A and B are shown apart, each in its own frame.
Chain A
Amino acid sequence: MPAHPSTGARALQLYTLMRRIRAFEDAAEQASLGGVAAWGLAASDKPALVRGPLHLSTGQEAVAAGVCLNLQCEDLLTSTHRGHGHTLAKGADTTRMMCELFGRATGTNKGKGGSMHIADFSVGMLGANGVVAAGIPIATGAAHALKLRGLPNIVACFFGDGAANRGPFLEGLNWAQVFKLPVFFVCEDNRISATTPTGPMTAGEGVSARAQALGIPASLVDGNDAEAVDAAAAQLVAQVRSGGGPRLLHAVTYRIKGHVSVDPGSYRNPDEVAAAQAREPLLLLRHRLLAQGHSSQSLDAVDAAAKAEIDGALAAAQAAPWPEAGAAYEDIMDTGAGVWR
């Protein structure tokens, strides 16, 4: 099945989704100032609205949007510690997401998970994960269940470049191929493992080559080009959906922010960061849309709508109730539930 042509409408859809993710990330970042102490920085005396660590996907929006626009609501998704964009793009409500970052009872996870564990099972988003590569085995199992149950849906499995150096990457890809499971593996390669460049720590020809060594068809794409990601994902998702077994997309992008919210990322070459800023995905797509005849006013309106949506989410999250202390004892297990010492 050929890739669908990226029409102007499709590009605008991508732009809108990416702008919403960017607005969410920017707002979350602002709300986290003075929060978690890390990297040797002390938390400020003033409690932050977002207390915990945030792993922002700023600059990586094209991967989340380009992949998730090719998924259906009933498809499942596993994510990484950098999962806001995947969650939003899969269809989660931004107010409930922001409430979760704020630790409120009305959050997607009732305030029990925060940013690192954000999840919305109601849209098939089975969770961000605090452990690198941990989503890969879970995705293969979910796909295994879909296949055994005879369901037509697939599982999208996002992981980072660092995950390719963990054991579950090999175990999971091998498993998916052995059992011909409907998994769409997406390596969202932001080129840095926490604070250390991934390239010098990775042997061989990279993630695609590792997948191909197991017989899994894999494609490399510019992860900052939303239309290219969309087209590649459309093709691979169609192959997975038609029962062809797993596929892998290696999308190379760039993490504009630090590893975690309070990390200024000062270990990176400023020239490298400036170059990345100059071709960040929203900028690229905006130029393309303008060239296609969209007016800057119409794109500004998209930007303003995204900001208004997220401003609304922020206000709602600030007004939302905290969990009751008793909630700490709920949602653990049925057998022997209660307060034990």
Chain B
Amino acid sequence: MSSTPTSTETMQTLTYAQAGALALQQAMSADSRVVALGEDLGRGGVFGQYRGLQQMFGADRIIDTPISEANIMGAAVGMALAGLRPVVEMRVIDFALCAMDEIVNQAAKNRYMFGGQGRVPLVARLPIGIWSASAAQHSQSLEAWFAHLPGLVVATPATPQDNFSLLKAAMASGDPVIYMEHKELWGESAAVDTTLPVPLGKAALLSSGNDLTLVTWSRGVAQALKSLQLPELAGVGVDLIDLRTLWPWDQAAVHASAARTGRLLVVHEAVQVAGFGAEVAASTAEATGCRVARLGAPRIPVGYADVLEQQSRLSPQKIALAARALLDR
């Protein structure tokens, strides 16, 4: 194309998908133990996030697998125990539900239950989120399920830069990482500094103000940025925090901000009930006594028709209204 970028320049304009491909390409070039496995990777992955890599590294390292999610994830655990550093593609997070034993009971527990004898350095890419009228089984945001599990790191990049830098950090971490790209972000394009490290567990502060702390991640970030321009929030000083990693999450940054502003709104696309926003809100209220509010999806499956799907979607307007209500409380 080449829509596959070369890795020679340190500052490049890349899509979110290309940024992920470049991060993997660099890791595979640097370390022969890194392999990727999943369905349809040879032709570039279903979202183009592996484009060109099988030509570069061969079918032994960019591994096309049968449609066998349990075995894909379980094999990655075995590969990791036997000296490789696998990157697993689950296509959409909804399919990873076929591999929950392998994620929850095997990858997450291995190191602890065997008394530290082994490590499971794997990155499982589980794309989340609503996209293109894909309805109830291809649209879920299940990050809270994985944040609940000891042993797992959970990352939710919102930008091409973070998809590059966080994926590299995930591959380098040595822990099992649940890596959640958002399916509606694949085509988003931005400048990426390929020398910029982003540590796991460190939030990004995207705007500063003294009236409200607004915490979000993944696709919520762009929506929240737009909400700041709406009339409901005119003249309001907002600390907008992109959490970037949900486990470990940047408690220090959020608690410090909320202690100053006295108000915290947590926004995510996932269902609000028992979502990770509840954890952020409760933790921050316990630590600071601040007023908290949450905005997530109602507890309904994602519908197909536009009017149904819209019920589950975030929007800048919904965020601004929720922020206004908290400010007026």
CB–CB A134/B105 < 8 A: yes
B63-98 vs A: 1/0 string, CB under 8 Å? 001101011011111111111101000000000000
Tell me if A167 is interfacial: C-beta within 8 Å of chain B: yes
- Are B114 and A134 interface neighbours, CB within 8 A? no
Interface check A108, CB cutoff 8 A: yes
Which positions 312-329 of chain B face chain A at CB distance < 8 Å? none
Q: In the complex, what distance in Å separates the CA atom of A143 from the CA atom of B247?
A: 31
Closest CB of chain B to A219's CB: distance in Å? Answer: 24
Choose, from A62-70, A171-179, A295-303, the stretch at the interface.
A171-179
Known contacts A121-B114, A148-B60; is-contact A134 B102 (Cβ 8 Å): yes
- Does B110 reach chain A (CB closer than 8 Å)? yes
Interface size on A, residues (CB 8 A): 50
Q: Are A333 and B153 in contact (CB under 8 A)?
A: yes
Residues of B near A155 (CB, < 8 A) are 78
* Listed stretches A32-40, A48-56, A125-133, A278-286; interface member: A125-133
Give A141 to B110 CA distance when docked, in angstroms: 14
Q: Determine whether B113 belongs to the interface, using a CB cutoff of 8 Å to chain A.
A: yes
Mark the stretch among A3-11, A21-29, A110-118, A197-205 that contacts chain B: A110-118
Number of interface residues of B (CB under 8 A): 48
Which one of B61, B116, B173, B201 lies within 8 Å of A331 (CB-CB)? Answer: B116
The residues of B that contact A122 with a CB separation of less than 8 Å are 117
Residue of A121, A131, A330, A341 near B105 (CB, 8 A) is: A131
Q: Which of B166-182 contact A (CB under 8 A)?
A: 173-177
Mark A169-194 against chain B: 1 for CB-CB distance below 8 A, else 0.
00110110010000000000000000
Chain B positions within 8 Å of A138 at CB level:
74-75, 77-78, 81, 106
Taking the closest CB of chain B, its distance from the CB of A190, in whole angstroms, is: 22
Q: How far is the CB of A245 from chain B (nearest CB, A)?
A: 15
| A136 pairs with B83, CB closer than 8 A | no
Contacts of B151 in A (CB 8 A): 332-333
Known: A137-B71, A148-B84, A332-B151. A112 touches B106 (CB 8 A): no
Which has the most chain A C-beta neighbours within 10 Å: B68, B77, B106, B153? Answer: B68
- Contact residue among A134, A139, A168, A333 (Cβ-Cβ distance under 8 Å from B111): A333
User: Chain B residues near A76 (CB, 8 Å)?
Assistant: 82
A121 engages B117 (CB within 8 Å): yes
A86 located at the interface, meaning its Cβ lies under 8 Å from any Cβ of chain B in the complex: no
- Candidates B66, B71, B173, B247; contact of A334 at CB < 8 Å: B173
Q: A126-B118, A138-B77, A138-B78 are in contact. Are A171 and B66 (CB under 8 A)?
A: yes
Q: Which residues of B sit under 8 angstroms from A167, Cβ to Cβ? A: 70
Q: Chain A: which residue is nearest B86 at the CB level?
A: A141
Q: Report A98-121 CB contacts with B as 1/0, cut-off 8 Å.
A: 000000000111111100010111
Q: Are B110 and A168 in contact (CB under 8 A)?
A: no
In the complex, the answer to whether B68 meets A335 with C-beta atoms within 8 Å is no
Determine whether the beta carbon of A108 is less than 8 Å from that of B115: yes
Cβ distance B90 to chain A, nearest Cβ, rounded Å = 14
Contact A121 B82 (CB under 8 A): no
A80 within 8 A of B: no
